[in-house]
Chain A
Amino acid sequence: MLSWAPFLTILLVAGPVLAGLIFTGLPALDVMPSLGRTHPSLAGFIVLFHMPGFVTALRLTLVTGVGAALLSFALAVAFSAEALTRPSWRWLTRLQTPILASPHSAIALGFAFLIAPSGWIVRLLSPWATGWTLPPGDLVTLRDPWGLAMVLGLTLKETPYLVLMIISASAQVPARSLMAAAGALGDPLAVAWIKVVFPSVYRQVRLPMLAVLAFSLSVVDMPLILAPGNPPPLAVLAVRWLTNYDLSMYVPAAAAAMLIMLIVLASGALWWVAEWPVAWLARVWVERGGPNPLLDMILWSAARLAVVLGAAAFAGGTGQALWSVARLWPFPDARPVAFTLATWTGQAQHSLGTIAVTVAVAGAVVGSALVLSLACLEHMQRQRGRLGLGMQALVFAPLLVPQIAFLFGMQVLLVRLHLDGTLIAVAWSHLIFVLPYVLLSLSDPFLALDPRYAASGAALGAGRARVFFALKLPLLIRPIAVAAAVGFAVSFAQYLPTLFAGAGRIATLTTEAVTLSSGGDRRIIGVLAMLQAALPLAAYGLALGAPFLLFRRRGGMRP
């Protein structure tokens, strides 16, 4: 009876991605029947390659995308190695939640205000230390030609996500006994963790890592703030052309989207292939034994760099909070010269309706994602299987395929179905991204649930449905609540899907924030950034609190 679940899930999640890819892929090959173009050609790619600055745009994409993914991964591994082996670092992992909850654009704006030549750091040092009464004109800290600000901004946001994945994966390996054995050999603890625990954790971190890689190569909102714009990275270029009223630009835009997809696939494949030699070298190195002062030093500094970047994210958030209550904050003052709550009260009346829409969409999406995920998992378990590789590839496609490669095509699909501009369309477009995350965070706890509970239930005469609803669900309430919180955060953060599926008509907090940031008033951007972080934080809070409330009367179930 449950066999519909995997099919429905794939249809809802992978269907639009495939359809979208087709409707983006055809224009990339110059096929647009509605415009009378029916002969496939590579004209779009030729325009793309001959565009002034194409090589720079390509280089920016590769440097920022691959650079940010590698740096985030390295920092996340180093930080996890320290945090999981030093009790005094434990509390730092809990501080990550606000960074996880804040959308990319808000993090980028906060970081930009921190490091700009007229930003907070320079303001704190001026004029007493620097002598500057005006921002230094020759200092380029933002939008630098190599995209380093962009790499750091992305790393700031992605590292906590990878740390979360590593920590939750390491909870599922017998880390304690492995570490006890390794510690006996005399390595520093962090190095020992890398040697013995990380290899078994890595397998579960591969998928999130590839998702980070795909995301970094194709992100659109962050480079608008942090990367140079003349030319920008390829993804920005593609969106810029796709929203151009000269419809002939659709062809090179689709070509650019397809090129980004090829880059994502190629770099993902390269990553996968590189695992072999790296694993072989690592094995040789581990078996050789002996002290590793260099690695110890690298880990030590990388973990601290991760902490510094985390602190930068917090400082950026604090800067935005200050802006939200500032009346005037000119350079070089280190803090606003006058405060006001007018921005909050002014924005509140506009935002209430938007918040309601945002929460309603997220609620419907997360509800459906939970039902579908649990149904899939229950079905898999009854079939005594895990998620097959094909199913995994299809469900996680939205995370691994760049958004711009299929969102525009998906819009065509929605227009054909007469669904564009409706709440259903927006919810569907969110579900595509929410479901993989919900399934990802539910599947391990679900499959790890001790099968003896179900066996005892069955022995006591409960049917499979009753075992599911009366035993498994209550036992899983904590991971379900966490998965829901993750789902809410993902839904809240969606910008391009909301814009395209909603035909611009459905405004959520995030589309509102991006639109208003085109107006550049930092005080309003500050208010929206606070609201954008507050909603997912509230969801996380509820997720952590829900088990306490639900199990008031069941002492044994309290976490």
Chain B
Amino acid sequence: MIRRRDFFTGLALSVGVLPVPAWAQSADWEFIEARARGQSVYFNAWGGDPQTNAFLDWIAGETKARHGIDLVHVKLTDTAEAVTRVLAEKAAGRSTGGSVDLVWINGPNFVAMKDQGLLSAPFATDLPNWRYVDKRKPSNLIDFTIPVNGLESPWRIAQVVFVYDEARTPLAGLPKTASAMLDWAEAHRGRLTHPNARNFLGATFLKQALVGLVPDRDILQQAATDATFQTAAAALWSWYDALRPHLWHDGRDFPETGATLLQLFADGEIDTAISFNPAEAANGIANGTLAKSARVHVLDGGTIGNTSFVAIPYDAAHRDGAMVIANLLLAPEVQARAQDPAVLGSFTVLDLAALDPTQRAMFQKVDDRAGMPTNAQLGAPLLEPHPSWMTRITGEWERRTSQ
């Protein structure tokens, strides 16, 4: 049984990868949809955010109703868990029937999976909804400077913002650049911190500073070498060494995750917190975790942005079902729902110009919710540095800060 299905999967893949006429692709897609029916797809995605969990619950209902697929959300504490699991399966010599069908990843996790050969065949460009994806947005095609090449499919956009409380600390008094942050922290001892740099968001805090401090940003788009890292990072570390003693807990201990950082902000232990979700303040106000006066702002000169993707591991047991779900995540009505601040407030990966007027209208809901930034306020996102920068920064940060 299993062998026969694998044969068909392989056949379908080889067809999908070759340049074939559109009619053949659609016939192919129907074939995939038909086979996907009745599958149970294990979608491994970080489970720490109740709003994302609720959204994936809704997606599960849609996949069941539209495609007869059971979507099981495997809630991860850290995406690396799923990567390790696939790696363990590879180490155990397993090549089919893997336990992860679809995984929410990007950046370093993507590179890790790609480098270890845990993602076998491209699929994203075969998805019918791929035609709506905004190909002019670099982060949809290039994940942390690594070309995606169809190995993962985009589903939401993230950009660095800083959350603050308008009533407590008006924006005018808050730092708008990395160097201003240093003066501000000196004047406001213990009122600033960032997640542990081993955490994705913690490393992003340092990368954001690096982007602001380095004289030539372009070198960040190439893999870091000992030489480039030393020169570029010198500015970062002299800034950080001066900043650290003024951070929360004297810069000796750091919150483990972005969520604990936000909790510190909500408790009033710190005045501003980095976040990767432009809708963080609006969402917090809506569900009551943040005060009504919570707002977000970006730094002068812009902030780092990236796209979140879903990928299918090489040994996924239900590749067809995973593809159908990846496709559904790109459907205009699904993307419009995700962009609704009452649901997720995550910005769409689609090109609105590629949609028809009725589809476009779904995205043009007037958004007057408190705390939601406008596109103009967010500005154009800056590119993520090559992942090697993040790895090196994390390692060096650990060396410098471990007691």
Residues of A within 8 A of B (CB): 32, 34-35, 51-53, 56, 116-118, 134-135, 137-138, 140, 143, 145, 224, 228-231, 240, 242-247, 327-328, 330-332, 338, 340, 346, 350, 411-412, 415-416, 420-421, 503-505, 507, 511-512, 514-524
Q: Give complex CA distance A117, B47 in Å.
A: 28
Given the contacts A224-B256, A518-B48, A53 and B403 also touching, CB distance less than 8 Å: yes
B72 interface contact, C-beta 8 A: yes
CA distance A332 to B267 in the complex (A): 8
- What's the least CB distance linking B190 to chain A, in Å? 3
**A–B complex contacts, Cβ < 8 Å, 22 sampled:** A34-B92, A118-B264, A140-B253, A230-B196, A230-B401, A245-B87, A245-B113, A247-B87, A350-B53, A411-B88, A504-B75, A505-B74, A512-B75, A514-B77, A516-B47, A518-B48, A519-B48, A519-B49, A520-B259, A521-B287, A521-B289, A522-B263
Q: Are A34 and B93 in contact (CB under 8 A)?
A: yes
CB <8 Å contact, B288 and A507: no
Q: How large is the interface on B (under 10, 10 to 19, 20 to 34, 35 or more residues)?
A: 35 or more
Q: Are B288 and A327 in contact, with the CB atoms below 8 A?
A: yes
- Interface contacts (Cβ under 8 Å), in number, total 158
Residues of A contacting B44 with CB < 8 Å? 504
| Alpha-carbon separation in the docked complex, A524 to B291 (Å) | 18
Partner of A521, one of B46, B50, B83, B113: B50
Q: How far is the CA of A137 from the CA of B270 in the complex (A)?
A: 8
Known contacts A135-B267, A246-B112, A520-B257; A230 and B403 CB within 8 A of each other: yes
Across-interface contacts of B249 in A (CB, < 8 A): 140, 143
A231-B402, A331-B267 known; A244-B84 Cβ under 8 A: yes
Tell me the bound Cα distance from A51 to B395 in angstroms: 11
Q: Which residues of A contact B266 (CB under 8 A)?
A: 330
Q: Are A229 and B248 in contact (CB under 8 A)?
A: no
Q: Are B84 and A118 in contact (CB under 8 A)?
A: no
Most buried by B among A330, A415, A504: A504
B99 touches A137 (CB 8 A): no
- Are A228 and B253 in contact (CB-based, < 8 A)? yes
CB–CB A56/B88 < 8 A:
no
Residue B116 CB within 8 A of the other chain: yes
CB pair B48–A516 under 8 Å, yes or no, is yes
CB distance from B109 to the nearest CB of A (A): 6
CA distance A512 to B260 in the complex (A): 17
B80 at the interface (CB under 8 A from A): yes
With A245-B116, A247-B91 already in contact, 17 other A-B pairs whose C-beta atoms are closer than 8 Å: A34-B91, A137-B191, A137-B269, A138-B190, A224-B256, A240-B198, A243-B84, A244-B80, A247-B84, A328-B291, A330-B268, A416-B92, A503-B85, A504-B81, A505-B74, A515-B75, A518-B47
Establish whether residues A415 and B75, one from each chain, have CB atoms under 8 Å apart when the complex forms: no
> A228's closest neighbor in chain B, by CB?
B253
Partner of B267, one of A116, A327, A504, A523: A116
Is there contact, CB below 8 Å, between A421 and B99? yes
How far apart are the CA atoms of A138 and B247 in the complex, in Å? Answer: 10
Q: Which of B109, B253, B260 contacts A245 (CB 8 A)?
A: B109
B52: min CB distance to chain A, Å: 9
A240 (CB) vs chain B CBs: closest residue: B198
- Asked if A247 contacts B253 (CB within 8 A), the reply is no
Q: Which residues of A contact B260 (CB under 8 A)?
A: 520
Q: Smallest CB-CB separation from A514: which chain B residue?
A: B77
B268 in complex: contacting residue of A118, A224, A340, CB < 8 Å? A118
CB distance from B318 to the nearest CB of A (A): 13
Known: A229-B196, A505-B99. A415 touches B89 (CB 8 A): yes
In the bound complex, how far is the Cα of B287 from the Cα of A338, in angstroms? 12
Q: Are A516 and B80 interface neighbours, CB within 8 A?
A: no
User: Within residues 385 to 400 of chain B, which ones have a CB less than 8 A from any CB in chain A?
Assistant: 398-399
The A-contacting residues of B in range 97-116, CB under 8 angstroms, are 99, 108-109, 112-113, 116
Distance from B320 Cβ to chain A, minimum over Cβ atoms (Å) = 19
B148 to chain A, nearest CB (A): 18
A247 to B113 Cα, complex, angstroms: 11
Q: Which residues of B contact A145 (CB under 8 A)?
A: 252-253, 403
CB pair A504–B291 under 8 Å, yes or no, is no
Q: Which residue of B lies closest to A116 (CB)?
A: B267
Interchain CA distance A415-B80 in the complex, whole Å: 19
For A505, list chain B residues within 8 Å (CB).
42, 72, 74, 99
When distances are taken between beta carbons in the complex, the residues of chain B under 8 Å from A350 are 53, 57
The distance from the CB of B147 to the nearest CB of chain A, in whole angstroms, is 20
Question: For the complex, what is the distance from the CA of A363 to the CA of B86, rounded to whole Å?
Answer: 31
Measured CA separation A53–B83 after assembly (Å): 27
Chain B residues whose C-beta falls within 8 Å of the C-beta of A35 in the assembled complex: 91
Which of chain B's residues have a CB closer than 8 A to the CB of A415?
88-89, 92, 94
Please give me the residue from chain A that is nearest to B97 by CB atom: A418
Contacts of B85 in A (CB 8 A): 503-504
In the complex, which residue of chain A has the Cβ closest to the Cβ of B72? A505
Known: A224-B256, A415-B88, A516-B50. A245 touches B189 (CB 8 A): no
For residue B78, CB closer than 8 A to chain A, the reply is yes
Q: Chain B's nearest CB lies how many Å from the CB of A480?
A: 36
Q: Name B63-78 residues within 8 Å CB distance of A.
A: 72, 74-78
What A residues does B53 contact at CB under 8 A? 350
Is there contact, CB below 8 Å, between B269 and A135? yes
CA distance A228 to B251 in the complex (A): 12
Q: Are A412 and B268 in contact (CB under 8 A)?
A: no
Cross-chain contact A53 with B402 (CB below 8 angstroms) = yes
Q: How far is the CB of B246 from chain A (nearest CB, A)?
A: 10
- Say yes or no: B78 contacts A243, CB within 8 Å: yes
| Chain A neighbourhood of B288, CB < 8 A | 327-328, 338, 340, 523
Give A15 to B266 CA distance when docked, in angstroms. 48
User: Does B328 lie at the interface of the complex (its beta carbon under 8 Å from any beta carbon of A)?
Assistant: no
Answer whether residue B254 sits at the interface, using C-beta atoms and an 8 A cutoff. Answer: yes
A165 to B84, CA, bound (A): 40
CA distance in complex: A34, B234 (Å): 40
Q: Which residue of A lies closest to B188 (CB)?
A: A137
* A-B interface, 6 closest residue pairs, ranked by CB to CB distance from nearest: A137-B190, A53-B402, A520-B259, A519-B48, A118-B267, A518-B48
Within 8 Å CB of A51, what residues of B? 402
C-alpha gap A511/B372 in the complex (Å): 33
Closest to A57 in B: B402
Is the C-beta of B82 less than 8 angstroms from some C-beta in chain A?
Answer: yes
Point out which of B99, B190, B253 has the most chain A C-beta atoms below 10 A from its C-beta. B253
Q: B262 an interface residue at 8 Å Cβ cutoff?
A: yes
Cβ-defined contact, A519 with B253, below 8 A: no
Q: Please, how many angstroms separate the alpha-carbon atoms of A519 and B259 in the complex?
A: 5
Bound together, the chains give a CA A517 to CA B256 distance in angstroms of 11
In angstroms, Cα B266 to Cα A498, docked, is 32
Please give, as numbers and ranges, the residues of chain A lying within 8 Å of B399 by CB-CB distance. Answer: 52
Interchain CA distance A510-B389 in the complex, whole Å: 36
| B402 and A230 contacting across the interface, CB-CB below 8 Å | yes
Asked whether, in the complex, the Cβ of B269 is within 8 Å of the Cβ of A245, the reply is: no
Given contacts A145-B403, A504-B74, A504-B85, contact A520 B93 (CB under 8 A): no
| CB–CB A515/B92 < 8 A | no
Residues of B within 8 A of A242 (CB): 84
Question: What is the distance, in angstroms, from A350's C-beta to the closest C-beta of chain B?
Answer: 8
- Of A53, A116, A230, chain B has the most CB atoms within 10 Å of the CB of A230
Residue of B49, B75, B78 with highest tally of chain A CB at under 10 A: B75
Do A230 and B263 form a contact, CB below 8 Å, given A243-B81, A244-B84, A245-B80?
no
Within 8 Å CB of A240, what residues of B? 198
Assembly CA distance A505 to B45 (angstroms): 11
The smallest C-beta distance from B287 to any residue of chain A, in angstroms, reads: 8
- Specify the chain A residue showing the minimal Cβ separation from B399: A52
Distance in Å from the Cβ of A490 to the closest Cβ of chain B?
Answer: 22
